[in-house]
Structure 1
């Protein structure tokens, strides 16, 4: 038995339509949305520029004449409005003054730091020299009768 042409194993052919034609409504929607967004942004910036130009002490002729009667020495020239950047006001907390650490605790701390410095393995002679200098300073603080206040 031969297979009938309707039961053939060939996959269906992809449509000859291009992707642009297939997704035409989506393309149109994207284009309209982008144009609307651009128009909105353009109008908003233009409105902002116009309101900045309109600010100031510009008056109409009638208002200007009334102002001249009330204030005969008032300048008639308008002062351009310069918008200053807003600086946020940050509430600062008062600084807590810590109690000084007692000398015996400072000595214990210096001893601990000295032990940690002794555990460090230097990688080069400069680092070894620096660590030795730091250890010498720590030993001086530990042996001193009084520790300087910072």
Structure 2
């Protein structure tokens, strides 16, 4: 019998070389995404704070006279202490609308109700009831005052 001579085992593969490029250069496609996301978040926050400033009210706060004997206070304490409530609104008497103008208004509303396209039967039923009520007001001799 013949004996087989075995050849030496193959050498293991060399370990992978460490990357020579920086992480930033290897991920070029991520940078535009990160920039776009940060710009959009910044714009959102800017618009949100800008809207909040507009809705807080435009009541001017008078500056307190600061002397050496007066202690300094925080701006929030000054603004809450010096702002008085607005005066109550004066109600103007409501002038009655003439009957002819009311009928014209009801006719216009009825025309607009006829133009509405409904999607579900409940909404259609509600609009039909409103149209029937408007027709009654238009046909009646006297229109009730509100």
Q: Shorter-chain TM-score category?
A: 0.3 to 0.5
Q: Rg larger in 1 or in 2?
A: 1
> Comparing both structures, which one devotes a greater share of its residues to helix?
1
TM-score when scaled to structure 1? 0.41
